[in-house]
C-alpha cells in the first residue's frame, strides 16, 4: 500500500487543483490531503472564500482523495509523514525545493503547476470592478 500526501488550501476548487490531486493519486494507492485550516491560512496570509469545513466537504467528494486531515502549521509535515506511513510527498512545483527536508523520510515529488488558472485569477476575473473586465 503506497500512501501519497499533499497539502494545500484548495479554495474555490478548480481544474488546476483537480489535475494536481489526480496526478498525485496515481502515484500510489491512497492520497491524503493536508487541508490548511482557516487559522493556518491567516499565517499564510491567505483568506479562503470557503471555510475549512466546506473545503473539506468538497475535497472528500473527489474520487482521487481518500482522506483529509487538517494542516494547522508549517511544522507538522514530518510527524504527519510518520503518523500516516507516507511513501510519497507531492506538491506543485511552485514549491520546488521547499520541502526537500522530507527526503529523509519519504520520496518528494514536485509536479508541474497547471498554468492559466488559479484561485486568485478566478477572484480577479469575477471582480467586475477590475479594469480588465471593463475593457469590453
State the catalytic residues: 44, 46
Q: Mark the segment that binds ligand C2G (CB under 6 A) among 16-24, 60-68, 79-87, 126-134.
A: 16-24
Q: Tell me which residue of 94, 120, 84 sits closest to 12, measured CA to CA.
A: 120
Among residues 75 and 136, whose Cβ is nearest to ligand C2G? Answer: 75
| 17 forms part of the interface with ligand C2G (CB under 6 A) | yes
Give Cα separations from 17 to 1, 39, 66, 106, 134 (angstroms). Answer: 24, 21, 15, 23, 28
Q: Which residues make Cβ contacts (< 8 Å) with residue 58, sequence separation at least 6?
A: 10, 13, 50
Integer Rg of the chain from CA = 16
Q: Which lies closer to ligand C2G via its Cβ, residue 104 or residue 129?
A: 104
* Contact string 36-75 vs ligand C2G (x = CB under 6 A): x-------x--------------------------x----
Q: Pick the closer one to ligand C2G by CB: 3 or 7.
A: 7
Closer CB to ligand C2G, 66 or 118, in the complex: 118
Identify whether the C-beta of residue 90 lies closer than 8 Å to the C-beta of residue 109.
Answer: yes
Neighbours of 36 (CB within 10 A): 23
The span from the CA of 31 to the CA of 3, in Å, is 6
Smallest distance from the beta carbon of 94 to ligand C2G, in angstroms? 5
Binding site for ligand C2G (CB under 6 A): 7-10, 16-17, 20, 36, 44, 71, 91-92, 94, 113-114, 117-118
Amino acid at each position: 500500500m503506497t500512501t501519497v500526501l499533499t497539502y494545500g488550501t484548495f479554495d474555490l476548487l478548480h481544474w488546476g487543483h483537480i489535475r494536481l490531486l489526480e496526478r498525485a493519486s496515481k502515484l500510489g494507492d491512497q492520497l491524503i490531503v493536508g487541508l490548511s485550516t482557516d487559522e493556518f491560512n491567516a499565517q499564510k496570509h491567505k483568506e479562503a472564500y470557503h471555510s475549512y469545513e466546506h473545503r473539506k466537504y468538497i475535497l472528500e467528494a473527489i474520487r482521487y482523495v481518500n482522506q483529509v486531515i487538517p494542516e494547522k502549521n508549517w511544522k507538522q509535515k514530518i510527524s504527519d509523514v510518520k503518523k500516516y506511513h507516507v511513501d510519497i510527498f507531492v506538491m506543485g512545483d511552485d514549491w520546488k525545493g521547499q520541502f526537500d527536508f522530507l527526503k529523509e523520510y519519504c520520496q518528494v515529488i514536485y509536479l508541474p503547476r497547471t498554468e492559466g488558472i488559479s484561485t486568485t485569477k478566478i477572484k480577479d476575473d469575477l471582480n467586475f470592478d477590475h479594469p480588465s473586465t471593463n475593457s469590453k
